[in-house]
Amino acid sequence: MTGSKTAALLIIGDEILSGRTQDTNTQTIAQMLGVKGIVIREVRVIPDVIETIVDTVNTIRRQYDYVFTTGGIGPTHDDKTAEAMAKAFGTTLERNADAWQRLVIHYEGEANMNAGRAKMAEIPVGAVLIDNPVSVAPGFRMDNVHVMAGVPKIMKGMMEFILPTLEGGDVVHARSVSADLPESALAQGLEAIENAYSGISVGSYPKFTPGMKPSTVIVICGVVLADVEKAANEVADLMERHGGTPRSSS
Amino acid sequence: MTGSKTAALLIIGDEILSGRTQDTNTQTIAQMLGVKGIVIREVRVIPDVIETIVDTVNTIRRQYDYVFTTGGIGPTHDDKTAEAMAKAFGTTLERNADAWQRLVIHYEGEANMNAGRAKMAEIPVGAVLIDNPVSVAPGFRMDNVHVMAGVPKIMKGMMEFILPTLEGGDVVHARSVSADLPESALAQGLEAIENAYSGISVGSYPKFTPGMKPSTVIVICGVVLADVEKAANEVADLMERHGGTPRSSS
């Protein structure tokens, strides 16, 4: 992973922890960052509790190049991320003039700015806004921490806004090769292939389908594409030696 | 959440962090634990790196009643969880006689026990096995940490084995009420309802569908079912006062 930038995700939301809602933002963000050469090294899912958010943000923002958070920036009392972010950075919330103006225009006049809508203009002092192409209420960035909405469509729009502002790194290329073989048959050969290439990682993922032979997907990753492809060819050869028919994809 | 037991999940796997694979184990485990009165307070997704696994397990196992891990107990070199767990608990791996026997029977004789299959019998000293109803290779428990496979079907089978062994707590009941209203309209009323009941949490989740009015799902949670239902009725009344037609579900 030499030369790649690193990131952590912070998924803020009781509804993910309770199992009521399936998180899909992790996968979306990982794929979007991946093409820029930014790799996610850690994801944490935490509840909507201010102290927990503050402690977690302050721990992880110093460990990675970038932090991305989702959830907790809406108009209701259970949206605590903005307040927590202000605390984490030792500042306070203020009515952000730019955010306020966007919301007033969207809701067609100050007369329609109830307390909930006004709350979405309360942004930590010093933050830089992140555009929201779906429902206007912005996210924001403080230092290396990007604070986004939890609703997947809004989050994705915010990520599209953020991406051009990020300094990327070496892109990690991946190839996958699969065959109808149990992964135990391939174990020793795979380790030898990984060891033969510095900077290449070889992951093995078994699949079990009732009534079918066990199959295995091998994923080869690395920043040097030529090495990834050479290693993937070696994996395919290994599978053939064990009587499998390798199927490759990128 | 008074009286509920607490848990943390540790999702171990490069393939989740890279976005190649969508984690679904979190939701499955959360729902299975929920009915026992065990609430997940934190989820971490980390890579297949021994030092990271050791540090994370040793941090979180002291903070929660239970820890559940998924991933990294297969036959290949990238399966590092068993070795990491041994290190975390200051012990070593040994060939577990019971695990070995199960695998020998499954693979129809010692002659078929290649290095990969033998690896799956290497279990930390002192661990208690967790049955695997799909592919035999067991998970294991050390103290309050339950180590499971990452393949969703196997993980679920292991959870079904584990559940009766867990001491449960107060079950958190939930009701949800939704209406075609923007959540900002409900914000103040919702906070008042949450404040009126101790031990009740009120979560607000907006939905944006192109071409449709914004809608909002309100989730009311608490261990006292009567209070949850009373608060849910108040949420429905609040929606009606704002011109909405509440739809309830549990």
**Tens digit of pLDDT for each residue in B75-86?**
999 999 999 999
Distance from C-alpha of A203 to C-alpha of B13, rounded to nearest angstrom: 9
Same-domain status, A103 and A156: yes
- The residue from B146, B165, B184 where one domain ends is B165
* Contacts (Cβ under 8 Å, ≥6 apart) of A181: A213, A214, A215, A216, A239, A242, A243, A244
Same-domain status, A156 and A181: no
Task: State the residue range of the domain holding B50.
Answer: 5-165
Distance from C-alpha of A163 to C-alpha of B177, rounded to nearest angstrom: 36
Indicate the helix (H) or strand (E) that contains B163.
none
With 50 as the cut, is the pLDDT of residue A213 above it? yes
**CATH number for the domain harbouring residue B161:** 3.40.980.10
Q: What is the pLDDT of residue B2?
A: 57
Instruction: Using alpha carbons, list the distances in angstroms from residue A56 to A8, A67, A80, A170, B8.
Output: 11, 11, 14, 27, 15
Torsion of CA B93, B99, B101, B105, to 10 degrees: -130
Q: What is the pLDDT of residue B214?
A: 87
The residue-averaged pLDDT of A121-138 equals 97
- The residue from B114, B145, B165 where one domain ends is B165
Instruction: Say if CB A74 and CB B186 are below 8 A apart.
Output: no
Residues in chain A closer than 8 A to B242 (CB atoms): none
Kindly state the tokens that stand for B132: 């695997």
Distance from C-alpha of A108 to C-alpha of A102, rounded to nearest angstrom: 10
Distance from C-alpha of A52 to C-alpha of A47, rounded to nearest angstrom: 7
With 80 as the cut, is the pLDDT of residue A1 above it? no
Sheet holding A201-207, edge to edge: A201-207, A215-222, A173-179, A247-249
Q: DSSP secondary-structure letter at B172?
A: P
115-134 of A, contacting B, C-beta below 8 A = 115-117, 119-120, 134
Residue A79: Cβ within 10 Å count: 23
Q: Are the beta carbons of A77 and B194 separated by less than 8 Å?
A: yes
**Tens digit of pLDDT for each residue in B107-166?**
999 999 999 999 999 999 999 999 999 999 999 999 999 999 999 999 999 999 999 999
Instruction: Say if CB B137 and CB B118 are below 8 A apart.
Output: no
- From B35, which residue of chain A is nearest by alpha-carbon distance? A18
Same-domain status, B23 and B136: yes
Taking the Cβ of residue A31 and every Cβ of chain B, the question of whether any pair is shorter than 8 Å is answered with yes
pLDDT band at B211 (very low <50, low <70, confident <90, very high): confident
With 70 as the cut, is the pLDDT of residue B69 above it? yes
Sole residue written with tokens 């609430």: B39
Q: Are the beta carbons of B47 and A26 separated by less than 8 Å?
A: no
Residue B60: Cβ within 10 Å count: 20
Q: What is the pLDDT of residue B76?
A: 96
- The residue from B97, B132, B165 where one domain ends is B165
Taking the Cβ of residue B174 and every Cβ of chain A, the question of whether any pair is shorter than 8 Å is answered with yes
Same-domain status, A160 and A216: no
Length of chain A: 250
With 90 as the cut, is the pLDDT of residue A64 above it? yes
Q: What is the pLDDT of residue A208?
A: 86
Taking the Cβ of residue B208 and every Cβ of chain A, the question of whether any pair is shorter than 8 Å is answered with yes
Distance from C-alpha of B139 to C-alpha of B131, rounded to nearest angstrom: 7
Taking the Cβ of residue A202 and every Cβ of chain B, the question of whether any pair is shorter than 8 Å is answered with yes
pTM of the predicted structure, to 2 decimals = 0.96
Same-domain status, A151 and A28: yes
Q: Are strands B128-130 and B122-124 parallel, antiparallel or unpaired?
A: unpaired
With 80 as the cut, is the pLDDT of residue A149 above it? yes
Q: Are strands B139-142 and B215-222 parallel, antiparallel or unpaired?
A: unpaired
Residue A96: Cβ within 10 Å count: 21
Instruction: Using alpha carbons, list the distances in angstroms from residue B48 to A232, B13, B124.
Output: 20, 6, 18
Taking the Cβ of residue A153 and every Cβ of chain B, the question of whether any pair is shorter than 8 Å is answered with yes
Same-domain status, B94 and B200: no
The residue-averaged pLDDT of B23-51 equals 98
Same-domain status, A47 and A97: yes
> What SS3 state is found at B240?
helix
pLDDT band at B1 (very low <50, low <70, confident <90, very high): very low
Q: What is the pLDDT of residue A108?
A: 95
* Contacts (Cβ under 8 Å, ≥6 apart) of B119: A187, B75, B79
Same-domain status, B193 and B124: no
Same-domain status, B73 and B41: yes
Same-domain status, B85 and B156: yes
Number of residue pairs across A and B with CB atoms under 8 Å?
A: 202
With 80 as the cut, is the pLDDT of residue A250 above it? no
Kindly state the tokens that stand for A94: 């203020």
Q: Are the beta carbons of B76 and A204 separated by less than 8 Å?
A: yes
Average pLDDT, chain A: 96
Same-domain status, A152 and A44: yes
User: How large a percentage of chain A has pLDDT more than 70?
Assistant: 99
Q: What is the pLDDT of residue B212?
A: 87
CA distance B75 to chain A (A): 5
Same-domain status, B204 and B113: no
**CATH number for the domain harbouring residue B215:** 3.30.70.600
Kindly state the tokens that stand for A202: 């070889």
- Of the candidates A174, A250, A245, which has an alpha carbon nearest to the alpha carbon of residue A216? A245
* Contacts (Cβ under 8 Å, ≥6 apart) of A250: A174, A175, A176
The residue-averaged pLDDT of A156-163 equals 98
Domain count, chain A: 2
